[in-house]
């Protein structure tokens, strides 16, 4: 169940931090040479798994205080070493030229400019644990600033440079050995409430915020602002430093937290924004009474206004993301997106505080927008077939990261007045210039209930309309995650097309970007209209003379995996092969196995034992495991043991059922991967088995 909120976090934090082993292990520290750009001469103009894992991945960006230089990270991977490494780069915006600042084997993360612009702060595990370091803007003079036991996970400078906030993991509950010191080798875990594990880890620690004094060369006296409190900030599992911010006067800071524990935490999305006053030590809840997610707060330049992303309803993680602004002196709150039927993300104030820039998805494209505070007018800034993932205001220009189905993330400069977009980085040009990408086509297809549905069709490179190709129906996860112009390092449409498949990727019911009504229809209707949407898309494309209707497959992960399992029992002979990754197979078991109970309570309607709830009973009646008797086509199942959102036993059940029914099946199991596949060699193995399976049954 991928999150529909905070797309930037999903793309950047997960891909760049987790895949790089953010908490460095001893083997990484022994690397003798940094991992850098790959100089490859390709034997084919079609993308391959090895080429995919050789591409550089742009990560976090930071603009210098004088707005003349852009700091950014690039992650490169070594297939041989099976790990990644992130280095920092600096671009002179006037010249649009970049230099590499760091050349290490331990990586540099979370880059920040010191407010005076004389130093660059970053996290590094050079000394063993992740600590705060600083260097000169030219990359010289690297010096360790912190020595926090166990390391830190994030930081930010106070605007006046007198203090630094840090985030670090804090142990608050006793381990088995703490309770029974005479059993030092015992491995059992003692749990008395829910949320004992989350996403891919057991909850043994909580992320807390610390404030430390800073003298320009070291920190001292770190104070835990949440001492002894059993909740975390940033919110796990995807929250980052966007959930914390200093006030412009450096006298307070704000942070996001869901101050609940156990069962209450597991059933609620009610995260609030808190302001901590340094002088008094007082904490104020700024979003008291607002019941959904309240995240990503940003102060106006003068500190009088606070903007943030807000969902209205508790327990609904895919609710509309509104743009809220609070006048801190008056205490009034305004919803500036009340008549704007789209989500917002990546809020940034203009330098003069008159506007808020943001990213919003409309019709599967993430574009840049602006809100003028005085008039409440929302203006679209960019157009084009692409998706923006982050932005930074820089005077009359915007600096933004952008991707598409045909290109990984690069940095662009956008002129606000004209909307002109100019590419600034060309990280992967040497490799991309050797590749031929398939055509990406937008189609609008009529659904069974008379609606129009945007469907992306991706063609093989060197497409020949006189040939007949096998086609793949791509089933999206989430379930509320748009099939936008994304570049994936696993579900890569150009990779699928390069293997001579035509990809059909519908924005079926239950996806944002097409209005809240379209998005919400899926909740309580698993196995309903959204499945008919899938079938409408593949049936329409199968009419094309260049698609072989006898060689159709269906693939997907997470909710897409559920979709594949469901379609396997309800496709009426359409498909000849299936691949399901980390999918829900048995919804009754899923209800009691998952970590975030608010999701299954909202989307399935509640527990399966609630016999008087028609929504609940419909949901569980449409569980894929109830249709196994209809399975008649080969199926490949993929699952990771560290997936605590949809546990590995879901995949095992599906595979076992197929084998017991004499359905050709394959089970690709990863003992060290979570809901994604993040290690290079596992990623390549995934691609090889993926196409081995499809080629076996569709070619």
pLDDT tens per residue across span 107-152: 999 999 999 999 999 999 999 999 999 999 999 999 999 999 999 9
Residue 643 annotated in active site? yes
Element (H, E) at 123: strand 120-124
Q: Which of 195, 312, 210, 174 is nearest to 262 (CA)?
A: 195
CB 4 within 8 A of CB 345: no
pLDDT given at position 37: 82
Residue 581 annotated in active site? no
- 181-231 confidence digits (pLDDT tens): 999 999 999 999 999 999 999 999 999 999 999 999 999 999 999 999 999
Which sign, positive or negative, has the C-alpha torsion 219, 221, 227, 228?
positive
Of 3-12, 555-564, 684-693, which gets the smallest average pLDDT?
3-12
| Residues written for the chain | 699
Q: How many CB atoms lie within 10 A of CB 75?
A: 22
Residue 558 annotated in active site? yes
Q: Which residues pair with 669 in a beta bridge?
A: 639
Q: Is the peptide bond before 658 cis (omega within 30 degrees of 0)?
A: no
Q: Is the peptide bond before 374 cis (omega within 30 degrees of 0)?
A: no
Q: Does residue 11 carry a pLDDT above 90?
A: no
- What domains are there in the chain, each with its CATH number? 1-145 (no CATH), 151-177+194-335 (2.120.10.30), 436-698 (3.40.50.1820)
Q: Which of 558, 563, 619, 623 is catalytic?
A: 558
Q: Taking the chain, what is the end-to-end CA distance rounded to the nearest angstrom?
A: 31
Helix-then-strand count for the chain, H and E = 15, 38
The rounded percent of the chain whose pLDDT value lies above 70 is: 95
What is the spatial order of strands in the sheet that 305-310 belongs to?
Answer: 294-299, 305-310, 322-327, 333-335
Q: Does residue 19 carry a pLDDT above 90?
A: no
Q: Does residue 29 carry a pLDDT above 90?
A: no
Which sign, positive or negative, has the C-alpha torsion 616, 618, 619, 623?
positive
pLDDT given at position 243: 98
519-544: average pLDDT: 97
What is the spatial order of strands in the sheet that 469-475 belongs to?
Answer: 440-446, 452-458, 502-506, 469-475, 547-557, 577-581, 635-640, 665-670
Phi (first) and psi of residue 423, to 5 degrees: -75, 130
Q: Does residue 2 carry a pLDDT above 70?
A: no
pLDDT given at position 32: 54
DSSP state of 229: -
User: Concatenated DSSP letters for 597-635?
Assistant: HHHHHHHS-S-TT-TT-HHHHHHHHT-GGGGGGG--S-E
68-87: average pLDDT: 97
Residue 611 confidence class, pLDDT cut points 50, 70, 90: very high
DSSP state of 659: H
Longest Cα pair distance anywhere in the chain, in angstroms? 75
How far is the CA of 569 from the CAs of 249, 473, 503, in angstroms? 61, 15, 22
Residues 6+ apart with CB under 8 A from 534: 473, 475, 506, 508, 554, 563, 567
312-326: average pLDDT: 98
Please tell me whether residue 239 adopts helix, strand or coil conformation.
coil
Q: Which residues pair with 442 in a beta bridge?
A: 456
């Amino acid at each position: 169940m991928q999150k529909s909120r905070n797309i930037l976090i999903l793309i950047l934090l997960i891909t760049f931090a987790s895949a790089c082993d953010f908490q460095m292990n001893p083997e990484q520290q022994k690397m003798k040479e940094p991992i850098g750009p790959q100089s490859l001469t390709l034997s084919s103009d079609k993308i391959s798994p090895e080429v995919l894992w050789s591409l550089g991945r742009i990560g976090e960006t930071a603009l210098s205080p004088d707005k003349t230089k852009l700091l950014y990270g690039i992650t490169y991977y070594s297939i041989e070493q099976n790990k990644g490494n992130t280095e920092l780069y600096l671009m002179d915006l006037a010249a649009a030229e970049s230099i590499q600042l760091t050349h290490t084997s331990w990586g540099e993360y979370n880059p920040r400019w010191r407010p005076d612009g004389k130093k660059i702060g970053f996290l590094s595990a050079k000394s063993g644990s992740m600590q705060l370091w600083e260097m000169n803007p030219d990359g010289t003079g690297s010096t360790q600033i912190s020595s926090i036991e166990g390391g830190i996970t994030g930081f930010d400078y106070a605007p006046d440079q007198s203090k630094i906030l840090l985030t670090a993991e804090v142990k608050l509950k006793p381990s088995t050995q703490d309770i029974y010191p005479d059993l030092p080798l015992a491995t059992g875990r003692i749990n008395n409430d829910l949320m004992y594990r989350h996403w891919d880890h057991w909850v043994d620690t909580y992320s807390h915020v610390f404030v430390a004094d800073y003298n320009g060369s070291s920190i001292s006296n770190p104070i835990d602002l949440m001492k002894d409190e059993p909740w975390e900030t940033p919110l796990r599992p995807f929250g980052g430093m966007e959930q914390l911010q200093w006030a412009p006067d450096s006298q307070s800071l704000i942070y996001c937290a869901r101050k609940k524990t156990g069962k209450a935490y597991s059933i609620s999305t009610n995260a609030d924004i808190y302001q901590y006053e340094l002088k008094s030590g007082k904490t104020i809840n700024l979003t008291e009474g607002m019941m959904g997610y309240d995240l990503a707060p940003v102060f106006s330049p003068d500190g009088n206004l606070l903007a943030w992303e807000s969902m209205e309803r508790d327990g609904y993680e895919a609710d509309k993301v509104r743009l809220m602004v609070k006048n801190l002196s008056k205490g009034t709150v305004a919803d500036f997106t009340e008549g704007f039927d789209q989500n917002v993300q990546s809020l940034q104030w203009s330098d003069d505080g008159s506007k808020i820039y943001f990213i919003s998805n409309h019709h599967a494209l993430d574009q840049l927008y602006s809100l003028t505070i005085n008039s409440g007018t929302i203006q679209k800034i960019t157009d084009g077939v692409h998706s923006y993932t982050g932005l930074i205001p820089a005077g009359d220009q915007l600096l933004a990261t952008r991707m598409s189905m045909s290109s990984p993330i690069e940095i662009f400069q956008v002129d606000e007045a004209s909307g002109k977009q100019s590419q600034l980085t060309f990280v992967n040009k040497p490799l991309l210039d050797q590749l031929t990408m398939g055509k990406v086509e937008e189609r609008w297809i009529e659904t069974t209930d008379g609606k129009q549905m945007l469907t992306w069709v991706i063609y093989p490179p060197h497409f020949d309309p006189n040939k007949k190709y096998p086609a793949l129906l791509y089933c999206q996860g989430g379930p509320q995650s748009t099939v936008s112009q994304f570049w994936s390092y696993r579900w890569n449409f150009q990779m699928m097309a390069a293997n001579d498949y035509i990809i059909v990727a519908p924005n079926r019911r239950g996806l944002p970007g097409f209005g809240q009504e379209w998005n919400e229809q899926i909740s309580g209707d698993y196995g309903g209209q959204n499945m008919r949407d899938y079938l409408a898309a593949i049936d329409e494309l199968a009419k094309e003379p260049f698609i072989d209707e006898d060689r159709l497959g269906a693939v997907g992960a997470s909710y897409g995996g559920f979709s594949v399992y469901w379609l396997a029992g309800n496709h009426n002979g359409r498909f000849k092969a299936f691949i399901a990754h980390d999918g829900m197979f048995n919804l009754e078991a899923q209800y009691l196995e998952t970590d975030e109970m608010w999701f299954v309570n909202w989307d399935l309607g509640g527990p399966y034992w609630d016999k008087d709830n028609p929504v609940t009973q419909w949901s569980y009646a449409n569980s894929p495991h109830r249709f196994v008797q209809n399975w008649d086509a080969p199926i490949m199942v993929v699952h990771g043991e560290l997936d605590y959102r949809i546990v590995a036993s879901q995949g095992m059940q599906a595979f076992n059922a197929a084998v017991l029914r004499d359905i050709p099946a394959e089970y690709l199991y990863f003992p060290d991967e979570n809901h994604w596949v993040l290690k290079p060699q596992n990623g390549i193995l995934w691609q090889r088995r993926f196409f081995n399976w499809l080629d076996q049954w569709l070619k």
